[in-house]
Amino acid sequence: MNCSGFPNNKRHAYLFLAYKNTYVLEKTLRLIDDERNDIYIHVDLKSNISDFEIYRGIVKKSNLYFTKRINCHWAAFSQLNATLILLEEASKNHYAYYHLLSESCMPIKTQNEIHSELAQCKYDYIETKDVTFNTEKWNRYYYFLTENRFYRTSKLIKGLSRIIFIIPQKLVGIDRWKNCKNQFGEKIAPQWGWNWFSLRDETVSFLLSKKEFIKKHFKRTHCPDECCIPTMLFNFTDMKQVKNSKRNIVFDGKPSVLTVDDYDRIMQSDDFFARKFDENKDRDVIDRVFNALKGEANDK
């Protein structure tokens, strides 16, 4: 229920995929606790939900919701499914924007700045990357072991997955997208990008209307959370209303942890959010971002 008096078509929904409670998450929730926002958190089923109950007392101005929980695994459809759960739950209230973050993300702009820049609701913000051989392979073939909890860390399981499942599919010419076309009759080309986004209400409605299509074509793929939304928007829209994700991420095979050495760079950027922060690696940068934004918010 919207208790703020601020109209829903101007409000923002902050969506979190969380598998652990962090110092970063606490600071982020304090920064986005605003009558113009609501907050939705999906807590991985492997995690202890009681660790997150503290936020019911910390979040004062926003409505806070915990969604239905599922067991999430790296590079698996469950990760994308948790995102769909968040979008479905939040879309019942129809927000201007839906921002997907993790427990290691922080805003690097104030809520006044973010709401002001997005007031016209003209664009979706996602990251798309050049299609690589891996992108094609991830989407073309069926991956059957991604929901195994050891898939991320076990070279043996990854190797067996390739030998037992992928090579035979390659030999017989499996292509899950072979006869799949969009509404214009064009063959769908899989895309890749970061899974963190800021999407408009109409875009979320479109994605949810394609939920069965998404399940059919992205279930048992590798990293579907990184391929799904770029693929759907690239193939089903003209991309004229898509801009870069407004996420400041240093990516070198995986996101690098930000430190105080990154502070000036990220705060002077045009991005809305940054990741990845880790209090065990550098708490100072987290405090500096928090204090800077909290101070600016109080000055306005």
pLDDT at residue 148, as a whole number: 87
> pTM of the full predicted structure?
0.93
Burial class (CB in 10 A: 0-12, 13-18, 19+), 9: exposed
- In angstroms, the CA 142 to CA 218 distance is 9
Mean pLDDT by 10 residues, the chain (300 residues): 60 97 98 98 97 96 98 94 98 97 98 97 89 76 88 85 88 91 87 92 97 94 92 91 94 89 98 98 98 79
pLDDT at residue 3, as a whole number: 47
SS3 call for 79: helix
Which two structure tokens, joined as six digits, stand for 266?
């990220």
pLDDT at residue 184, as a whole number: 84
**Domains, the chain, ranges and CATH?**
8-129+193-205+238-299 (3.90.550)
pLDDT at residue 299, as a whole number: 59
